[in-house]
Amino acid sequence: MPHPLNLMKLCVGCPTPAELTAWQSRFGDGPAVHVTRMWPTRQAELLEGGSIYWVFKGIMAARQRLIGLEERIGPDGIRRCALILDREVVPVAAVPRRPFQGWRYLRGEDAPADLPKDRAAEPSLPPKLMRELAAMGLR
């Protein structure tokens, strides 16, 4: 089975996956929405099972399944892309990532694996320790 195409994005303002979940829950039930300026040209591939992988303080540590993309016009009249996301934030194996602007495509074969369900509830390690463990291939 081919790997789906994904996006990766820095999670600014939420330092951990748990805080992202809490922040998104403030906006009610239903899918989560993240609005971005650029529209992915590979939309069809993303919607064939793709996810957005979130980078927290230099560590890719969670993902959310992409459900859809919708046009949103901002108060400034500029067209934007609303990424419609499954509400579940899935912890993934920690992978260090350098900062980048906007979002990037992430090939399925390059995406980190989901953490086993019994490890998903583990408390988050400090970001520096997560980076060091990931660099050694231990997390």
Q: Where exactly are the structural domains of the chain?
A: 6-135
pLDDT of residue 132: 74
Please write the tens of the pLDDT for every residue from 85-137. Answer: 999 999 999 999 999 999 999 999 999 999 998 765 555 666 677 667 767 76
**CA-to-CA distance for 72 and 34, rounded, in angstroms?**
11
Three-state SS for 31?
coil
Q: Is the pTM of this model over 0.75?
A: yes
Q: Which of 87, 52, 82, 89 is nearest to 68 (CA)?
A: 82
What are the residues facing 60 on neighbouring strands? 55, 95
pLDDT of residue 118: 73
pLDDT average, residue stretch 24-46: 92
Angle at 91 between CA 89 and CA 97, to 5 degrees: 105
Residue 45, class by beta-carbon neighbours within 10 Å (0-12 exposed, 13-18 middle, 19+ buried)?
A: middle
pLDDT average, residue stretch 62-82: 95
